[in-house]
Homo-oligomer: A and B are copies of this chain.
Amino acid sequence: MHPFDRAMLLDHVGAELVRGATEPAWANMVGPFGGITAAVLLRAVETHPDRIGEPLALTVNYAAPIADGEFDIALRAARTNRSNQHWILELRQGDEVKTTATAVFGTHRDTWADIEARSPKVPAPEDIPRSAFFEPIVWAKRYDMRFTQGPIPDDGVLSDSSTTTLWVRDVEQRPLDFAGLAAVSDIFYPRVFLRRGGFIPAGTISLTTYFHADQSRVDSVGGDFVLGSARANAFSRGYFDQSAHLWSRDGSLLTSTHQLVYFKD
């Protein structure tokens, strides 16, 4: 079984409770990769028998590090409307809340459509070598990342811009799904590294992802690269925010994704 699918294994132990476990392949410095936590919360809703529609919005609040091992996800549909549904989730280990989340699922309708956040013009991923990532970060080995702007900075090299743009795909080309899209929306290393020239303590506090792609659009990506670009808006008194987008190779906007990150400097 692919490590992503292992991380998505959930046991529905009650109407409002599912159980999962951390997967070593997705380890971060402390606890698992935030993207895999976002993915498993989304998957908990996706696989709930009451779920209607597809993911529209997901907010994940990283309240405390998840320890290696089992975790429970309490989840319930707080409100079900005709065309959308509002979920509340809490990931716990023992009595401790480690993560909170809300998710909105809903049905799509054919409407006028347009993309204003256009993908940057970059070379094809085939024309760029696979990039190295921070060696101790286990989860990063699960992705083939090819930076076109703002790669991992060399120590002490400060940048005026926090923008990173990269092609990224699952290293085994596992076909993309909504959970995979939730994970890769958190692919960007902390923007403060670029501005301050190296690794400094930083971690996501809150992550929000909007899903523009419906199931057929996600399926059409398959195991191909997606293009991601992220930048910070402001760094202020211990926190910064990041806004990012993911596009398919044909320029379709898959997600808009935002996060608030703490940092020490």
Contacts and interface: CB of A to CB of B under 8 A. Distances in A.
Interface of A: 56-57, 59, 61, 63-64, 78-79, 81, 84, 86, 88, 90, 96-98, 100-102, 104, 106, 108-117, 161-162, 195-196, 205-206, 208, 210, 212-214, 231-239, 241, 243, 245, 253, 256, 258, 260, 262-265
A163 to B, nearest CB: 9
Given A84-B205, A97-B86, A236-B253, A79 B63 contact: yes
Contact of A205 (B57, B206, B232): B57
Contact of A260 (B88, B109, B210, B245): B210
B104 A102 contact: no
Contacts of A213: 236
Grouping DSSP codes into helix (H, G, I), strand (E, B) and loop, the A interface class, with mixed when no group exceeds half, is strand
A258 B253 CA distance: 16
B100 A86 contact: yes
25 contacts: A56-B205, A56-B206, A57-B260, A63-B78, A78-B90, A102-B102, A104-B205, A106-B239, A108-B236, A108-B239, A110-B237, A111-B263, A112-B196, A113-B234, A115-B235, A116-B162, A116-B233, A206-B210, A210-B239, A212-B239, A233-B253, A234-B253, A234-B256, A243-B243, A243-B256
